[in-house]
C-alpha cells in the first residue's frame, strides 16, 4: 500500500502511452524514485479499448501499431513477446468518392474517378505545378498548401471537405507546418501516367504495414506494457485522480486527499486541464488559445459474413456528406477476437434501415464489426440524440451495410479531447506555454500534453514520455518534441532499450 504522505523524485500523471513510456524509462533508472498516477482503473488513456456487453471490442478511435523507434518496438515486444500475440496487416484503404472506391492516397489515384473529375483534378494539378515553380512565398495555411501542392480540383473534391470532417475546422484556419509525412504530395508525372494507363499507385506512408494485437484490442497492448512495471508504483483509479497541482509547493493532491510531493512532474494531462488544475490564470488563458475537436466513436456489430465489397479492407475515408463519419474501420478484420465467436447467440436489435427484425430470438453468428469516427466542434455541431442512427444510415448510404443487415450490438462514446488542432496560433502558444511550465519543473507531454498532432501517434506519444525522462534526469534533447521532422523522416530512430544515440543534425 502507498502511504498517506508520498515523496518521489519524479511524478508522472497519466497512464496512456506517454505516461507509460516515462514509467518504462524511469524503471530503468533504479536509483530514481518515481510514481505514476491515473484516474482510470485500467491503463491506456486515449489508446484504450472498450468491450460491449455482447463481446464486440472497439478502440478509442482508429489505432494501429507502426513505428519510427527501435526502443518503442522492443518495449512492445517485451510486453507481448510471442508471434501469436500479433497480427501483421498490409494496409488496404480507400476513399469513397462519387460512388467509387478510390485507393488511398486519393491524390495519387485520381485515375479511378469519372473522366470529368479526372480532367478537373489534372487541370488543378498542372496549375499548381506551374505556380509552385515560380512561387516566392510559402503557403500561409493548410488551405493554401493544399492548392499549392494539388490544385483546386482535388482541393474541392476531397481535401477541403474531408479535412473539415476530420478536424471540424476549416482548412483556412489551420497551419501547414505539421504536415510532414501525414499528407502525400502527388507527383504530376506519375499521376498523369496512371490516368492515361488507368492504373493505381502503390501503397504510401509509414503505416502501409502495421501490427495489431491478437487479443484485447489496442488497449491490451498498454495493459501488457503496464504489467511489466512494478505495480506498487502505479496508483490508478480514484486514488490516482488528480484534483490539484501546486507548482510552488511541488505537490499534487489526489481525490482521496493524498498529497504527493515531487521534484519533477511529467504531466500527460491535456495542457489546458493541467493549467486549470494548477489554478494559474495566466496559463489558463494561454490554454484557451489552443483548439481541439471532440471525437465520437460509433461501433456496429453485425451478424453474417462480410460483404464482398468489404473484403479485407482496413479503413476507409469519406469526404462526402452522405454520412456523418470521416473514417470507418472494419475492426473485425484486425483480429478474429475483436468480436464474439460464431457459436455465441445474440438477438437482432434492428435492421440497418432502422426497421424491426422479424425474429428477435437469440441466434448464432458469424459476426463482424464496423467502427466509425465523427468529429465535433462549435463550427461543426453534432446531434447526440440522432447520431447513432445517422451513422448507421450513413453505412447504408455508402454501401458498407445492406439495408437488411442484422445489427446485434451498438456502441457510442464521446471523447471531449479527440484531435489537437494544428491551428494558426498553436505554435506561438506552445512556445510560450511549455517553457513557462518547465520553469516550474513541470514537463507537459503527450497527444494533448504537448499538443503536437504531428507527433501524436502511439510510438511518438510513448517516446515523448521516454525522452521527457531522459531530459529530466540527464539533460538530453527531446527529439520527438522539438524535431518532429527528424524523427518522422527516418524509418526507425536508433533508440534501443539500453541506449539513447545522439541526434545527427
Enumerate residues 6+ apart whose C-beta is below 8 A from 461.
16, 17, 18, 21, 47, 446, 447, 455
Per-domain boundaries in the chain: 5-48+65-85+214-291+423-500, 106-197, 293-419
5-48+65-85+214-291+423-500 maps to CATH 3.50.50.60: yes
Sign (positive or negative) of CA dihedral 434, 438, 441, 447: positive
**Can you give the pLDDT of all 505 residues of the chain as single tens digits?**
444 689 999 999 999 999 999 999 999 988 789 999 999 999 999 999 999 999 999 998 778 877 889 999 999 999 999 999 999 888 888 999 999 999 888 888 888 899 999 999 999 999 988 887 888 888 899 999 999 889 999 999 999 999 999 999 999 999 988 876 456 567 777 788 878 877 776 655 555 788 899 999 999 999 999 999 999 999 999 999 999 999 999 999 999 889 999 999 999 999 999 999 999 999 999 999 999 999 999 999 999 999 888 888 888 999 999 999 999 999 999 999 999 999 999 999 999 999 999 999 999 999 999 999 999 999 999 999 999 999 999 999 999 999 999 999 999 999 999 999 999 999 999 999 999 999 999 999 999 999 999 999 999 999 999 999 999 999 999 999 999 988 887 655 555 444 443 433 3
Taking the model in full, what pTM does it have? 0.91
With contact defined as beta carbons under 8 Å apart, do 484 and 455 qualify? yes
Q: How many secondary structure helices (H) and strands (E) does the chain include? A: 14, 21
Q: Distance of CA 219 to CAs 42, 141, 215, 456, Å?
A: 9, 35, 9, 16
Exposure string over 134-143, b if 16+ CB within 10 A, otherwise e? eeeeebebbb
Largest CA distance in the chain: 72
Query: What pLDDT, on the 0 to 100 scale, is given for residue 200?
Result: 72
Tell me which residue of 381, 388, 376, 386 sits closest to 412, measured CA to CA. Answer: 388
Query: What pLDDT, on the 0 to 100 scale, is given for residue 210?
Result: 85
Enumerate residues 6+ apart whose C-beta is below 8 A from 92.
311, 312, 313, 314
Query: How far, in Å, CA of 209 to CA of 138, rounded?
Result: 33
281: number of Cβ within 10 Å: 10
Query: What pLDDT, on the 0 to 100 scale, is given for residue 3?
Result: 45
Query: How far, in Å, CA of 101 to CA of 113, rounded?
Result: 9
Q: Which cell numbers in the block locate residue 309?
A: 465489397
> Could you give the count of Cα atoms lying within 13 Å of 316 in the half-sphere of its Cβ?
27
- DSSP state string for 425-460: THHHHHHHHHHHHHTTTEEE-STTTT--GGG-SHHH
- 282: helix, coil or strand? helix
Q: Which cell numbers in the block locate residue 294?
A: 471532440
Sign (positive or negative) of CA dihedral 76, 51, 42, 452: positive
Query: What pLDDT, on the 0 to 100 scale, is given for residue 494?
Result: 53
- 265: helix, coil or strand? strand
Average pLDDT over the chain, rounded to whole?
91
Query: What pLDDT, on the 0 to 100 scale, is given for residue 498?
Result: 46
Strands (E), 186-333: 209-213, 234-236, 242-246, 251-254, 259-267, 292-303, 315-317, 327-329
Find where cell 534533447 sits.
Answer: 477
pLDDT digits (tens, 9 = 90+) for 317-374: 999 999 999 999 999 999 999 999 999 999 999 999 999 999 999 999 999 999 999 9
Amino acid at each position: 500500500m502507498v502511504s498517506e504522505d508520498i515523496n518521489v523524485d519524479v511524478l508522472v500523471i497519466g497512464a496512456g502511452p506517454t505516461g507509460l513510456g516515462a514509467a518504462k524509462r524511469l524503471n530503468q533508472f533504479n536509483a530514481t524514485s518515481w510514481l505514476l498516477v491515473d484516474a482510470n482503473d485500467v491503463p491506456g488513456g486515449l489508446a484504450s479499448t472498450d468491450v460491449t456487453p455482447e463481446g464486440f471490442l472497439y478502440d478509442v478511435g482508429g489505432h494501429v501499431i507502426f513505428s519510427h523507434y527501435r526502443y518503442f518496438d522492443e518495449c512492445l515486444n517485451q510486453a507481448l513477446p510471442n508471434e501469436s500475440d500479433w497480427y501483421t496487416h498490409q494496409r488496404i484503404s480507400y476513399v469513397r468518392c462519387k460512388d467509387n472506391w478510390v485507393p488511398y492516397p486519393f491524390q495519387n489515384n485520381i485515375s479511378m474517378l469519372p473522366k470529368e473529375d479526372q480532367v478537373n483534378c489534372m487541370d488543378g494539378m498542372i496549375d499548381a505545378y506551374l505556380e509552385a515553380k515560380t512561387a516566392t512565398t510559402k503557403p500561409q495555411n493548410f488551405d493554401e498548401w493544399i492548392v499549392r501542392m494539388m490544385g483546386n480540383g482535388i482541393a474541392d473534391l476531397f481535401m477541403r471537405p474531408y479535412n473539415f470532417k476530420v478536424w471540424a475546422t476549416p482548412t483556412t484556419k489551420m497551419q501547414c507546418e505539421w504536415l510532414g509525412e501525414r499528407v502525400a504530395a502527388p507527383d504530376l508525372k506519375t499521376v498523369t501516367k496512371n490516368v492515361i494507363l488507368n492504373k493505381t499507385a502503390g501503397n504510401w506512408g509509414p503505416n502501409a504495414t502495421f501490427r495489431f494485437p491478437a487479443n484485447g484490442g489496442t488497449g491490451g497492448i498498454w495493459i501488457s506494457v503496464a504489467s511489466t512495471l512494478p505495480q506498487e508504483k502505479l496508483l490508478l483509479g480514484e486514488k490516482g485522480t488528480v484534483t490539484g497541482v501546486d507548482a510552488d509547493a511541488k505537490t499534487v493532491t489526489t481525490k482521496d486527499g493524498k498529497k504527493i510531493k515531487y521534484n519533477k512532474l511529467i504531466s500527460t494531462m491535456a495542457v489546458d486541464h493541467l493549467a486549470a488544475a494548477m489554478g494559474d490564470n495566466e496559463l489558463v488563458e494561454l490554454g484557451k488559445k489552443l483548439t481541439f475537436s471532440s471525437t465520437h466513436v460509433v461501433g456496429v456489430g453485425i451478424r453474417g459474413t462480410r460483404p464482398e465489397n468489404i473484403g479485407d479492407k482496413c479503413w476507409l475515408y469519406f469526404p462526402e456528406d452522405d454520412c456523418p463519419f470521416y473514417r470507418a474501420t472494419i475492426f473485425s478484420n484486425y483480429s478474429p477476437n475483436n468480436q464474439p465467436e460464431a457459436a455465441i447467440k445474440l438477438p437482432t436489435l434492428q435492421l440497418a434501415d432502422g426497421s424491426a427484425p422479424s425474429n428477435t430470438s437469440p441466434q448464432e453468428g458469424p459476426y463482424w464489426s464496423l467502427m466509425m469516427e465523427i468529429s465535433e466542434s462549435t463550427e461543426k455541431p453534432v446531434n447526440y440524440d440522432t447520431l447513432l442512427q445517422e451513422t448507421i444510415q450513413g453505412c447504408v448510404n455508402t454501401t458498407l451495410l445492406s439495408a437488411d443487415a442484422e445489427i446485434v450490438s451498438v456502441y457510442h462514446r464521446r471523447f471531449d479531447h479527440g484531435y489537437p488542432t494544428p491551428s494558426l496560433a498553436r505554435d506561438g502558444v506552445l512556445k510560450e506555454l511549455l517553457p513557462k511550465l518547465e520553469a516550474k519543473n513541470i514537463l507537459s507531454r503527450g497527444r494533448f500534453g504537448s499538443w503536437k498532432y504531428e507527433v501524436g501517434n502511439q510510438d511518438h506519444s510513448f517516446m515523448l514520455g521516454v525522452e521527457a525522462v531522459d531530459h529530466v534526469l540527464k539533460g538530453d534533447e527531446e527529439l520527438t518534441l522539438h524535431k518532429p521532422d527528424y524523427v518522422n523522416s527516418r524509418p526507425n530512430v536508433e533508440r534501443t532499450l539500453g541506449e539513447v544515440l545522439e541526434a545527427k543534425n
